[in-house]
Chain A
Amino acid sequence: MALDFSFLDKFQTAFALGLWMTIRITVVCVILGTALGFLTGLARTSRSRILRGVATAYVDVFRGTPVLIQLFWIFFCLPLILGTEPPNFVSACIALTLYMGAITSESFRSSLRQVGREQMDACVALGLPPRARILNVILPQAVLRAIPPLLSNAISLFKESALVSAVGVADLMFVGQNISNNTAKPVEVLTFVALVYFVIAFPLTRLVSLVERKMLRKIAA
């Protein structure tokens, strides 16, 4: 069959609006989700058993279930519990922020653990007060180590955001599927959509490996 991509030109605005929605959801959820993940990571190291239990259960549930069912839950069940229906954009952001919080908390936790015990022992030997141990020694190293995995988490979220199309949020994937159904040209339209995601995500993954190498050198030095 002959492929002709030129008709996609007509849908420029629609694609741009869809992509804008994808980017907005990604940015909002990356910021809120990373903050939530940091707090969750702290809660998981807390002395309170209850806090630790709640945080661990939250992370396990959101990492152990498909993102699609999380979205469905927020879209179909939350309105019944709240008694009102939040706007689609808000529901999508709630679901993906909760997911992002769960995956970033793991990144924070493992980077905290990578800072060796010796560092803490050295602080004690040097007689540093507890505040300085955390703020000046442990935290800076942990945050540096957390940057590459957090960037990877952000890229994952960008990809997962395509799922909101299944609950009717007009993101890039949703727009693509609509145009594909209306023009009956799925090959051209869906290939184009896939390429747009690839063209954005691929350079970001390269950036992550670059940052990772730089960080490793910095930590080794």
Chain B
Amino acid sequence: MTDRRRIALTVNGLQRDGEVEGRLLLADFLRHHLGLTGTHLGCEHGVCGACTVLVDGQATRSCLMLAVQANGRSITTVEGLAPDGEASHPLQAAFHERHGLQCGFCTPGFLMTLVEFLEENPEPDEAAVREALSGNLCRCTGYQGIVDAALQASASLRETSGQ
């Protein structure tokens, strides 16, 4: 079965293209075809949330979407949060400061989930943050540092946008 298709999409603001098999996952296209290995694959069946990216601004499991379905769409991965040479995104800075990561495997998924969440909910309480993060698994820090980081980031993002 060799039906391959050409796809063209925007990834982190850059126009990218490729020729892919129908069955290729978006996550594998990002990692293996584009070399964007910041997007991690944990469970590959939509449970762990590590592969979460933004598709047209919406948090999406990239292991549950085919690369061909991303044709014409705009994707943001963790690499797009703070392009080379730029300061860390406020969320990344907060994760660093509040011990929101240890091994870092789950971190890209948490960050991309929170980018969408904080955009829609600029002033969340702790319960809302915990619910928003219920679809992401972390196996080393526990969640307290991550929740603290999300709350700290929401405060600093509000300050920045208020200026």
A binds B: no
Binding site for A on B (CB under 8 A): none
